[in-house]
Amino acid sequence: MPGQSDPLPASTSANAMKYSKRFRVEPGSKVKLADIDAGFKDRHEDRESAQSELEQNSRRLAELQYLMYAEDQRSLLIVLQAMDAGGKDGVVNHVISAMNPQGCAVHAFKAPSAEELAHDYLWRIHRVTPAKGQVTIFNRSHYEDVLVVRVHDLVPKKVWSKRYDEINDFEQFLTENGTHVVKFFLHIDAEEQLARFKQRLDDPGRHWKISESDYSERAYWDQYQAAFEDVLEKCSTEHAPWYVIPANHKWFRNLAVSQILVETLDSLGMKMPPARVDIAAMRAKYHAAEALEEGGAAADGADASSAEREAESQHGKKAKKHKDKKKS
């Protein structure tokens, strides 16, 4: 992975730095999270200076999702993982708000239920992967089965250690069947996590987010970072790459994630599908219907005001509908 504090090239247009390259974990490379600056914000001073790019990304994301929905050929799976308070909910909100809800789904994975535990760990995952044309976001994912499960010895090492290969195979299978998989690790540092825990305490509107486990899990910070490093090293693949997103600044995190999604979707070469009908014939039908409508209105009394004509025409349509219904 390229060093994130490298000096910027001279040209800094919006496309000068492809975040899909910059933040991608190169398959097979080593990752040391402590060396990656979670407070990185590229050339931006603050949220305001990134605002126009954020809006541009959201607009483009909306177009690309529309295209994916219209094409109905493939799907996108976005996986979000982070330490507690890392910003997964914030990314869900930001990405989703750019999209048409009809083509999106979000799934949050909590500690497995008894029914889920009675199956293999990918069972609850696979049943909610996106259908063709859809975008699905995972707020936590199958990666918990090599994160929390590993840190807390919920299964023996000989079981969880096999899962990296199993997960790679699973994601390859999804990819080969038309699902593009993009995975984001939202990288905050320990100070930022504590600052966010404080914000939660200070804001009654966020008290519901506080859990005992926030603090008990924080005590395992180093073990989690090591587990994440293994995930990033073993499971970033050409077909399903991991991205490490500097996430201390929420606006930068949103900017980087939305930009990588735009770059990913742009690279798919999606095309608006052709019409399923003969458009010339449909146009002819439209003109015929329009002529009928106009002819009907003209015959309905030359001296009626246009408002009256409109009202009568609506009434006529309703009456006809009623009659047709009775006939059938």
Residues lying near ligand AMP in the complex (CB under 6 A) are found at 109-112, 140, 144-145, 148-149, 213
Interaction partner, residue 1 (ligand AMP, Mg ion, none; CB < 5-8 Å by kind): none
Question: Whole-angstrom Cα distance, residue 155 to residue 265?
Answer: 37
Binding-site ranges for Mg ion (CB under 5 A) = 84
The pair phi, psi for residue 231, each rounded to 5°, is -60, -45
- Longest CA–CA span in the chain (Å) reads 88
CB-wise, 145 or 192, nearer to ligand AMP? 145
Q: Please identify the residue of the shown chain whose CB is closest to the bound ligand AMP.
A: 144
Which residue has its beta carbon closest to Mg ion? 84
Shortest separation between residue 185's beta carbon and ligand AMP, angstroms = 15
With CA atoms as reference, report the closest residue to 17 among 36, 4, 32, 33.
Answer: 4
Smallest distance, ligand AMP to C-beta of residue 151, A = 9
Distance CA 242, CA 187 (A): 12
DSSP string over 100-158 = -GGGEEEEE--SPPHHHHTS-TTHHHHTTSPPTT-EEEEES-GGGGGTHHHHTTSS-HH
Torsion of CA 64, 69, 74, 78, to 10 degrees: 60
Using the structure block, give the residue that is written with the tokens 């936590």: 140
Residue (125 or 135) nearer to ligand AMP, CB: 125
State the nearest-atom distance from the C-beta of 79 to ligand AMP, in Å: 13
Provide, rounded to whole angstroms, the least separation between the CB of residue 92 and Mg ion. Answer: 13
Which residue has 């006529």 as its token pair? 316
CB nearer ligand AMP, residue 117 or residue 291 = 117
Which of residues 39 and 112 has its CB atom nearest to ligand AMP in the complex? 112
* Residue with smaller CB distance to ligand AMP, 144 or 171: 144
To ligand AMP, the closest distance from the beta carbon of 316 in angstroms equals 57
Asked if 75 contacts 133 with a C-beta cutoff of 8 angstroms, the reply is yes
Residue nearer to ligand AMP on the CB measure, 97 or 213: 213
Shortest gap between Cβ of 77 and ligand AMP (angstroms)?
17
Rounded-to-integer distance, Cα 93 and Cα 98, Å: 9
Residue 174 pairs with which residues in a beta bridge? none
